[in-house]
Amino acid sequence: MTKVNRYHWTSAILSISRWRSAKGSPDLRFPPKSGDSNRTILRLPILISAILSLLLLLLAASGCRPAATPVERHEREYARLADEMPPLSPVPLGEGEKLQVIATTSIVADVVKNIGGDLIDLTTLIPPGSDPHTFEPTPRDAAAVAKAHVVFINGAGLEQFLEPLLESVGGTEKITSVSYGIELRRLDGEHGQADPHVWFDPYNVIVWTHNIEQALGALDPDNASAYTARARAYEAELRELDAWIRDQVAQVPAANRKLLTDHKVLGYFADRYGFEQVGTVIPGLSTLAQPSAQELTALEDIIRRHNVKAIFVGTTVNPRLAQQIADDTGASLVFLYTGSLSEPNGPADSYLSLMRYDVAAIVEALK
């Protein structure tokens, strides 16, 4: 089910349950002394809202969308977060006080940690092992955002459920997209939805490194040269990673360089290292959708026609469907770390180890 449908379901269910409680025995909003006619008037907007929600639901089910769906609104209102770096000015810090920094995903947090080190207080919003596409923040997260000096987001539409919260508590001025300046891949041509999975190309993470260095240096100028030194050291590690990946993928014959994943997560990797994304279990760039029966049949056709050897599934995504497809086609099921690091001391507890783990798994499955 797409995000659009989820929104309609949720609001319809909420409206129906409100309508039910209005209809049933008296509650706080409808005290008995209000009199019957009064109660009907009070109930009317709720009834209308329930009917409207049901209509929206029917519209969504029939594939006909109302004027501005949440996804379209999201594209319009939040896509700019990936394209702009807000002007940041120095934060007045007391003696021994550190910059309060938030990063949304564990992957962004790891890169921020490499540049900020002990000079910053860093909080990660989305815990390791959670899917960044579907993560829903708690009131505690909102409080942390309100207190922060800067919030680093992946941007490019990844944090769909988080962005409204970030904007309402934090205000846009403290939100900094680490992906500023990256040329985003687009689904279905120039104006299509942006592909947020930029970290699968280490060169994009070099861009992150520069953005984070710049932002931290602007907020905390006393430590700017330390941030710069750390950023250059980390950048050298990213270049080493790129050289290692090139070495590894050279073992995969050209005919086998076909990636089939749970959702469209490896586009930047495919572009950089000469692979092709031949299909996905879940249609699109997010994990929020569900494939239809026809889409599944078409996918199994692709696997047989292209002689696809493996289906790669993220550790934060339910593998049930992918397992079924693997069983049907004889392809193997291979787990990758995609949207999140592993737990500390796990096999992918940093960005660098995540990339090494995934590349080793891909090469092993396809060579």
- Rounded least distance, CB 132 to Zn ion, Å: 7
Cross-strand pairs, 121: 100
Reported as type and span, the H/E element at residue 332 is strand 332-336
- Rounded least distance, CB 159 to Zn ion, Å: 11
Which of residues 219 and 288 has its CB atom nearest to Zn ion in the complex?
A: 288
* Three-class secondary structure of residue 87 per DSSP: coil
Closest CA to 161 of 132, 194, 140, 186: 132
Which of residues 218 and 265 has its CB atom nearest to Zn ion in the complex?
A: 265
- Rounded least distance, CB 286 to Zn ion, Å: 6
Which of residues 103 and 265 has its CB atom nearest to Zn ion in the complex?
A: 265
Which of residues 202 and 339 has its CB atom nearest to Zn ion in the complex?
A: 339
- Rounded least distance, CB 233 to Zn ion, Å: 29
Which of residues 223 and 261 has its CB atom nearest to Zn ion in the complex?
A: 261
Which of residues 166 and 266 has its CB atom nearest to Zn ion in the complex?
A: 266
Which of residues 231 and 260 has its CB atom nearest to Zn ion in the complex?
A: 260
Residue 256 · residue 309 · CB < 8 Å: yes
- Rounded least distance, CB 219 to Zn ion, Å: 29
- Rounded least distance, CB 311 to Zn ion, Å: 16
Residues in the chain, how many? Answer: 367
- Rounded least distance, CB 129 to Zn ion, Å: 14
Residue 320 · residue 344 · CB < 8 Å: no
Closest CA to 199 of 155, 166, 160: 155
Which of residues 170 and 339 has its CB atom nearest to Zn ion in the complex?
A: 339
46: how many CB neighbours lie within 10 A of its CB?
A: 19
Reported as type and span, the H/E element at residue 41 is helix 36-61
Which residues would be at the binding site for Zn ion (CB under 5 A)?
265, 339
> CA–CA separation, 59 vs 52, rounded Å?
10
Q: Vertex 188, ends 186 and 193: CA angle to 5°?
A: 45
> CA–CA separation, 272 vs 183, rounded Å?
13
71: how many CB neighbours lie within 10 A of its CB?
A: 18
Output DSSP code: residue 108: H
- Rounded least distance, CB 314 to Zn ion, Å: 7
Cross-strand pairs, 335: 313
> CA–CA separation, 133 vs 3, rounded Å?
10
